[in-house]
Amino acid sequence: MAVLKILELVGTSKQSWSDAAREAVNEAAKTVRGIETVEVAESKAVVQNNKLTEYQVLVRIGFRIEGTASSTASRKKA
C-alpha cells in the first residue's frame, strides 16, 4: 500500500493559470521528491485598473512518503 502526502501551494503567473500551476510544481520539485499528482483546487486572478494582472492557482501536490510498503518493495528489487 502506498501513502501520499498532500502539499498545498499557491502558484502565480503573469501569463496564465496553467503557467501558474506549472510554476508551483516546478518550485515544489526543488525540495520534494516523488511528486505523483497535482490538483488545481482553485483559480483566482488579480485585477488592477480593470486589467487582469496576475493569475493565481491553489494546487494540491501529492507525493509518495518514503518508506511506505510500495516504495520499500521497489528498493528491495533494485
Q: Consecutive sets of 10 residues in the chain, 78 residues long: mean pLDDT of each?
A: 91 98 97 96 98 98 80 51
In this structure, which CATH number among 3.20.20.80, 3.30.1660.10, 3.90.1310.10, 1.20.140.10 belongs to the domain 4-77? Answer: 3.30.1660.10
Q: What is the pLDDT of residue 66?
A: 80
C-alpha dist (Å) from residue 23 to 2, 10, 36, 39 = 26, 9, 16, 13
The three cell numbers locating residue 30: 526543488
Q: What is the pTM of this model?
A: 0.77
Decide if 17 contacts 55 (C-beta within 8 A).
yes
